Amino acid sequence: MRRLKTLDRVFSKAGAGSRAVARSWIGARRVRVNGKIVENPEYWIDLERDRVTLDGKPLRKAANVYILLYKPKGFLTTARDPEGRPTVYSLLEGLDTWVVPVGRLDLDTSGLLLFTNDTQFAERIMNPESKVPKTYQLKTATRLTEEQIAQLRNGVELSDGPAHAADITILRESPKYTHLELVLLEGRNRQVRRMIEAVDSKVLKLVRTAIGPIRIGDLAIGKWRQLTEEELRALGKPRAGKRPE
């Protein structure tokens, strides 16, 4: 079976840059396919037969990279924002390979965010059928009752279907607030916040502390590190890829 991809996607899959960046290179006539300049980013490439160059240099796939970032609140999980708000990519200083986030965290959520250029790895972690647990700690705007906790555990109805916590632990309580640790086996958009709203409360603070067995640990907020070989094996990856300096 022939392995075909559009020209812009070939660059992102190789870890050379995002599709948007690749389109700018293609539009600037810096890209050749089999020696001929191609200006159409939708041009189909046979990965086994076609030779792609950028500024005359052959495009080669970068070694696989696996990164853990402690995302701060106030950063978007995107490469760029039309409104000029800060994005998580501004935190990946020193990384010379293009990577994509494994799932997302919304603007007001902090915590563990994985990045990689290994698309198969990313797809497996994000696939709900893989049932990779995601652990969150949160503070609610009201003190939750036993009935509300039971609802979260047993399931609530959201606009995109029912959802329930695979595990839920009360960390501490005060007269006004409840602090919870909640584990999900899927990762729908704003799911934790919507679940709490479904039991008539709101999230005041939300931090993702773990994906599967991988935890933030003592990593400083806003910093990143490589996943260790042990962590990759725990996530089902045989061994680590490139370790950038």
DSSP per residue, 183-235: EESS--TTHHHHHHHHTT--EEEEEEEEETTEE-TTPPTT-EEEPPHHHHHHT
Q: 160 catalytic, yes or no? A: no
Spatial CB neighbours of 149, under 8 Å, sequence gap ≥ 6 = 168, 170
Query: How many helices (H) and strands (E) in the chain?
Result: 6, 17
Catalytic residue among 46, 106, 160, 200: 106
Query: Residue 87, by phi and psi: left (phi above 0), alpha (psi -120 to 50) or beta?
Result: beta
Residue numbers annotated as active site: 106
